[in-house]
Amino acid sequence: MLKLSQFGPGALVAAAFIGPGTVVTASLAGANFGYALLWALLFSIVACVILQEMSARIGLVTQAGLGENIRNNLTSGWLRWLALLLIFSAIAIGNSVYQGGNLSGASLGASELVGPVPILDGWLSNAWALIIGVIALLILWTGNARVIEKALIGMVLLMSIAFIGTFLLTNPDWSAVFKGTFGFSLPTGATLTVVALIGTTVVPYNIFLHASSVSKKWQSPDELPAARRDLFLSIPFGGLISMAIVATAASAFFGQQVNIESAGDLAESLRPLFGDGATYLMAIGLFAAGISSATTAPLASAYALCGIMGWSVNLRSKAFRSVWLSILVIGVIISSVGIKPVTVIWFAQVANGILLPVIVGFLWWLCQSSMLGKYRNSLLQNILAAIIFLISVVLSGRSLGSAFGFW
């Protein structure tokens, strides 16, 4: 029988990629194209599992994170510092800005469930962001990997109840769900949405998060089957949640003139169609998605930045805490006072667009190196990695094209 203690790093990845951005992207996919793009999420989950399995092998065999391995294996001086500068810029700046979105998403859910915050709402445009930021701080400050894992596993379970429950309330067309999942359909104008669905699941910082988390949970390559079991169950389960969000929006809004610009719009729009129950379930899911991503984003940033800079990756070290605390504080400020840092978001989008194929390339390269010994990539794994690398280049082009106004 599987025990909760057997899970951890895979659940962290699932908690990380199901954030408010994923909720919005998946909702728009369902509202605009019905069930037709469910196959794109299925594909993205398969790609995510392949990449995270490679990341887990690196963490388990080397007992170090991806950041440390990149630093130690790049011997060329200029190339090493160029790579480190790119990763530092994308992770530090990108996650700081996106952290504001995570907190804003969680705040929308909390506001729908509880209402405004007395007193604080008179001082801040989004008081819930501060409260949720403090919750994330308390979880991370424990410095206990198992406590953090349990908290985020709880969030994933809460999201599953909320989003899958909402999906069931909307009385989906099961034949259309099956066709959309296992068929291949690309409606007119859906290309960028497909790219966005994949981009919300295959996330660069999750690769850092997974490798470091695996190296701390398991200490021997002999435990690779346990690490694989964790990710082969946790990540597809997270994908099921994302697919439920697409199907919910498809059931409720496809073919109707409904304007969805935020995850909060989705929750509120469900009320006249399916009653308060659906609205509250969606709000609970949104809250859980926001707070889980608001916790994992600073954690992943700390693992990545401390690793590439050669600082301690101990959860209780001053350097590690300083990194995640900085990311968290900047996110709270952005969300709680209503800042819209357009220029910074633009830079973050450009940096992350460049970063994705770079990180996938590094991951692929490391998994072929002699340091992994018999755990190096097989021929099939190399073929799959090559395909995903090419897809990451397409995703990068989309991100850069969007940032420079070409899309």
Q: Write the single-letter amino acid at 26.
A: A
Span 310-348, pLDDT tens digits: 888 888 899 999 999 999 998 888 877 766 655 555 555
Q: Which residue has the tokens 């089957």?
A: 225
Share of the chain above pLDDT 70, in %: 85
The total number of residues shown for the chain amounts to 407
Q: How far apart, in whole angstroms, are the C-alpha atoms of residue 349 and residue 401?
A: 10
Dihedral sign (CA 361, 364, 365, 366): positive
Chain-centroid distance, C-alpha 200: 6
Q: Where are the alpha helices (DSSP H) in 254-341?
A: 263-269, 271-309, 318-336
Ordered by where they begin, the domains of the chain are 9-404 (1.20.1740.10)
Chain-centroid distance, C-alpha 60: 22
Hey, which of 267-271, 291-295, 350-354 has the most confident mean pLDDT? 291-295
Q: How far apart, in whole angstroms, are the C-alpha atoms of residue 68 and residue 13?
A: 19
Provide the token pair at 85. 């500068």
Q: Which residue has the tokens 């439920």?
A: 244
pLDDT at position 51, please?
93
Q: How far apart, in whole angstroms, are the C-alpha atoms of residue 278 and residue 270?
A: 6
pLDDT at position 345, please?
54
Q: For the chain, state the CA radius of gyration.
A: 20
More confident residue, 119 or 72: 72
Coil, strand, or helix at residue 201? coil
Task: Provide the terminal-to-terminal Cα distance of the chain, rounded to the nearest Å.
Answer: 49
Q: Does residue 140 have a pLDDT over 80?
A: yes
Chain-centroid distance, C-alpha 17: 2
Q: How far apart, in whole angstroms, are the C-alpha atoms of residue 336 and residue 355?
A: 28
Those residues with Cβ within 8 angstroms of residue 207's Cβ, 6 or more apart along the chain or in another chain: 51, 52, 55, 66, 359, 360, 363
User: Is residue 91 within 8 Å of residue 205, measured between CB atoms?
Assistant: yes
pTM above 0.75? yes
Of the pLDDT bands very low, low, confident and very high (cuts 50, 70, 90), residue 54 is very high
Provide the token pair at 207. 């690769």
Q: How far apart, in whole angstroms, are the C-alpha atoms of residue 21 and residue 284?
A: 16
Q: Does residue 52 have a pLDDT over 90?
A: yes
Q: Does residue 60 have a pLDDT over 90?
A: yes
Provide the token pair at 237. 């389960």
pLDDT at position 359, please?
86
What's phi and psi for 118, nearest 5 deg? Answer: -60, 145
Share of the chain above pLDDT 90, in %: 20
Burial 52-65 (b: 16+ CB within 10 A, else e): bbbbbbbbbbbebb
User: Is residue 104 within 8 Å of residue 129, measured between CB atoms?
Assistant: yes
Of 294, 267, 269, which Cα lies nearest the Cα of 112? 267
Span 187-231, pLDDT tens digits: 888 877 888 888 788 888 889 889 999 988 898 888 999 999 999
Q: Does residue 378 have a pLDDT over 70?
A: yes
Q: Where are the alpha helices (DSSP H) in 142-270?
A: 145-159, 165-169, 174-182, 191-199, 204-217, 224-253, 263-269
Dihedral sign (CA 175, 272, 126, 116): negative
